[in-house]
Every structure is written in structure tokens, then in C-alpha cells.
Copies of this chain bind each other. A is one copy, B any other.
Amino acid sequence: MRATVMYGAGDVRVEDVPDPVLQEPTDALVRIVRSCVCGSDLHPYRSMPASVEGTPMGHEFLGVVEETGSDVSGFRAGDLVVAPFAFADNTCAFCCEGLHTSCPHGGFFSAAQAEALRVPQAQGSLVKLPVAEDSALLPSLLTLADVFGTGHHAAVTAGVNQRTTVTVVGDGAVGLLAVLSAKRLGAERIVLMGRHKDRTDLGRDFGATDVVAERGQEGIERVRELTSGDGAHTVLEAVGHLDAYEAALGVVRPGGVISRVGVPQYDQGPIGFTSLFGGNLTLTGGPAPVRAYIEELLPDVLEGRVEPGRVFDRTVGLEQTPDGYRAMDQREALKVLVRP
């Protein structure tokens, strides 16, 4: 089959690879119906050292079940399914607490930008979708695999509700869906920090009440002006670079919460008295256990109350996936849908 493999920074290829096969009784084989390129795929796209073997890419997909292992029940060939970007057994103590990303039998998908995929822990990971393979809802349903659930995770872990002011740092797909999620949870004041007007316009559609395009100290001061001078109760950091964390520290209110869902591209950061401690700030977030959220978010997507799929502004065929990376890297596209 054809699949997307990254060989180094800027070097993404679509090539022939062996067809996936069932390896464990808990596996399923899925034919990919839609996959996409993630903002987090851009981190290796910009920094991965050259590699001879390469890394299969893609962790978001909708698919049709083709075959299931002997331990998988409740799914059959022909079912349209979505999976979280992190597979999990959905039965262990961590999964039962909603922390599927820490499942001892779990892991992160790779290789979904392809024609087919082996799904480990299929019964715990897959969720059946009650729509046809040509449904207009597919883009929005695909966001349940990662970016919608990740934006929701940021809002949930930050404790967003109708009484909290919210600042979202970053106007990528996750940032925009953090806006949508905050709005969905009742937030009435949502400031979006981003400087790409087409994206922040979509952010306004999703519920942002204010947009701050300025960066650095100027941006911080602008947000503080918009939030009574004290800063925002909750800050959703959807970028992953150190300057985004520093912006979050700058705009958060004493006693407030910073939730990070952008994968940190740094190890050390300021957490001392003057940055995090003195104001009794809380730093939370992490890889979103989106499996825990699918049942909650799915009805809103199916019934059209939210349209998270609007973050997809370009669709390519599988062979054009490398151009999808390029377009996202150069910010020509916000998020690229891949249609094998």
C-alpha cells in the first residue's frame, strides 16, 4: 500500500510499504477514509535529523473496519470508526479515570497518513460513527481524533466555565478549537492571541470575543487591558514553544490556571517565585486523552451544534501529502485533510 514517511526535516515522501496485518488478537485493520496533517507533525518537519529508515506519519484518522482480531467484539467489517490519537485499552485504572494517554497498554498512533492501518487495542480505542462514508460531517468527525478533543482538554483542565475569562495562545487548529471548546463550556469572554487574520476570523466565528495580534510584551499588555488589568483566569496554551508559555505567564491572573496542550519544544522553563509560584498559578495540561471525550463531543458534532471541521481549509490526495506539509509549514493552509 501507499503510506507517508518522513525522512528528515522537510523530507516527506509517499511510498510503497507492506500492507498492515493483524498482529495481536486485540488488533483491528482499518482502511483509511480520511486522515490529516497535525500541527505537531510540523515540529519534526522543521527539526528531524535525516534518517535512513524514516518514520511513518499520521495519528488522526477516520476509517472503515476491514478485519478484527479474536479478542475484539462489537465491531465488524464495514463499520465507520474514529480513534483517538492515543490508543488505549479503555479498561485499566487510568482509562477509567479518563487518562487514556497513560494507559499501560496504550501508545500513540503513527502511520495513519496511509491507505490502511493496524489499530492496536481496537476495542478500547475505536468508536463507531453513525454516518455514511460520504457524510458531509467527516471533517468535523475527524477532529474528534485529536484537535477538537485537545482543545476541549485544554479548556476542561483549565477549569473553564461561565465565570472564567479565557485567553487562548495560538491560532492554529488546536487554538481555534480551544476557543470553540471554551465557548461550548460557557465562557463569555475569550481573548484569542494570534496574528493570522483568516485564522482569527474563524476564531471569532468559534466564539472569540477579542483578538490580540500583537506579540511579546505588547501582546501581553493588550490582553491585560482586555481583562481588567489583572489577566485571564484561564489561559489555554496551544503552541508548544517557550515564548507561548511565557506569554501565558504574562497574561494569567493571580490564582489562575495555564493549561498547555501544545507539545512543549523545551524542557526547562520559568517556574520560580516571580513567574509561577508567587501568584499561586497552576500549570496543567498534557497530551489530551481524547478517547475520554469522544462520547461527550460526538452528539454536538452529529447534531451540527459545533462545526470543528471548519479548521480544514485544504484537502489533498494521499500522493499530495508532502505538499500538505509544505503548505501548513508555510502557513498557506491552517490544517490539511488527506483523502486517500
Among A94, A260, A267, chain B packs the most CB atoms within 10 A around the CB of: A267
Interface residue A278 (Cβ < 8 Å from any Cβ of B):
yes
Partner of A254 from the list B94, B270, B277 (CB cut-off 8 Å) is B94
The oligomer's copy count stands at: 2
A283 close to B276 (CB less than 8 A): yes
Let me know if A287 is at the binding interface, CB within 8 A: yes
**A91 on interface, CB distance cutoff 8 Å:** no
Asked if A298 CB lies within 8 Å of chain B CBs, one says no
Alpha-carbon separation in the docked complex, A282 to B245 (Å): 15
Given contacts A94-B254, A255-B97, contact A272 B268 (CB under 8 A): yes
- Is B270 touching A267 in the complex (CB atoms < 8 A)? yes
Contact A263 B271 (CB under 8 A): no
Q: A269 contacts the other chain (Cβ, under 8 Å)?
A: yes
Chain A, range 254-299, C-beta contacts under 8 Å to B: 254-255, 260, 263-264, 266-287, 289
A102 within 8 Å of B by Cβ? Answer: yes
Q: What B residues does A213 contact at CB under 8 A?
A: none
| A90: Cβ under 8 A from any B Cβ | no
Q: Is the CB of A273 within 8 A of B263?
A: yes
Given contacts A254-B99, A264-B271, contact A283 B282 (CB under 8 A): yes
Whether, in the assembled complex, A123 has its beta carbon less than 8 Å from a beta carbon of chain B, the answer is: no
Which residues from B are CB-within-8-Å of A270? 267-268
Residue of B nearest to A273 (CB): B264
Chain B residue, CB-CB nearest to A271: B269
Q: Flag if B286 contacts A277 (CB, 8 Å).
A: yes
- At the interface, yes or no: A121 with Cβ under 8 Å from chain B? no
Which residues of B have CB within 8 Å of A274?
267
Q: How far is the CB of A155 from chain B (nearest CB, A)?
A: 14
A277–B255 touching, CB < 8 Å: no
- Interface band, chain A: 35 or more
Q: For A282, give its contact among B266, B278, B284 (CB under 8 Å).
A: B284
Q: Does A101 have its Cβ within 8 Å of any Cβ on chain B? A: yes
Question: When the two chains form their complex, are residues B280 and A282 in contact, meaning their CB atoms are under 8 A apart?
Answer: no
B contact residues around A280 at 8 Å (CB):
99, 101-102, 157, 284-287, 289
Q: Which residues of B contact A97 (CB under 8 A)?
A: 255
Could you tell me the distance between the alpha carbons of A264 and B276 in the complex, rounded to whole angstroms? 10
Contact B285 A255 (CB under 8 A): no
Given contacts A255-B94, A255-B99, A277-B260, whether A268 and B266 have CB atoms under 8 Å apart is no
B263 touches A277 (CB 8 A): yes
A210 CB to closest chain B CB (Å) equals 21
Evaluate whether A264 and B255 lie within 8 angstroms (CB atoms) in the complex, with A102-B279, A280-B286 already known. Answer: no
Select from chain B the residue with minimum beta-carbon distance to A268.
Answer: B268
* B-contacting residues, A83-111, CB 8 Å: 94, 97, 99, 101-102
Least distance between A197 CB and chain B CB atoms (Å): 30
What is the bound-complex CA distance between A275 and B267, given in angstroms?
8
Given A99-B254, A263-B273, A264-B273: A283 and B284 interface contact (C-beta under 8 Å): yes
Chain B contacts of A287 at CB under 8 A? 277-278, 280
Q: A241-254 CB contact bits vs B (8 Å, 1 = yes)?
A: 00001000000001
A309 to B170, CA, bound (A): 49
Nearest CB to that of A280 among chain B residues? Answer: B286
Q: In the complex, which residues of chain B have a beta carbon less than 8 angstroms from the beta carbon of A276?
A: 283, 286
